[in-house]
Amino acid sequence: MNILIRKFYYGDIPEDSGGSNELKDSSKASPKGGGLEGATDWPLWEIFIRSKQGLDHKHAGSLHATDAQMAIENARDVYTRRMEGVSIWVVESKYIHASNPDEAAQLYEPANDKIYRHPTFYDLPDEVGHMLQP
C-alpha cells in the first residue's frame, strides 16, 4: 500500500480537475517549483503592526496575497515571528492615497498664515514657572 502525503501551504495547492483526489503532474502545476506562479497577479497589501497595547500601528512592509485573511496570516508569519505585535492591520495598496511631495509647499502654505495656532509670541509671567518657552 503506497500512501502519498504532501504538505501544501495556503495559496499553493495545484489545480485539481475532474473532482478526483489525485494531483496533477507537479512539473505542470508549478513551473518554478513553488506553486506560486500566479503570485505576481495577487494584489499588494500594506502591513501595519502595533507592538504594544496603547501604541499606534507602524508600517512594517508590504506583501502580495489573494485576500485580506491571507494577508493577515502571511503578515503574522513574516513580520511578527518573535511575538513583536499585538495587532495587525492590512490595507490593499490601491486604497491608499497620498499627497505628492512636490506639492507640499502649496498644501501646507495656508498653515503659515495662521500664527495664532502657534502662540510663541506671548510673554509668560515669571510666576508661571512650569511652562516651557521656546
The answer on pLDDT for 31 being more than 70 is no
Question: Of 24-38, 55-69, 100-114, where does mean pLDDT reach its minimum?
Answer: 24-38
What secondary structure letter does DSSP report for 48?
Answer: E
- Determine the pLDDT at residue 130: 67
- Determine the pLDDT at residue 32: 43
Question: Across all residues in the chain, what is the average pLDDT?
Answer: 75
Q: Could you tell me the pTM of the whole model? A: 0.53
Closest CA to 89 of 68, 110, 120, 112: 68
Burial of 35 (0-12, 13-18, 19+ CB in 10 A): middle
The answer on pLDDT for 46 being more than 60 is yes
Cell of 86: 499585538
- Determine the pLDDT at residue 127: 79
- Determine the pLDDT at residue 17: 46
Look at residue 61 and give its three-state secondary structure.
strand
Would you place residue 39 in the very low, low, confident or very high pLDDT band (cuts 50, 70, 90)?
A: low
What is the mean pLDDT of the segment spanning 1-14? 59
The answer on pLDDT for 86 being more than 80 is yes
What is the mean pLDDT of the segment spanning 43-63? 93
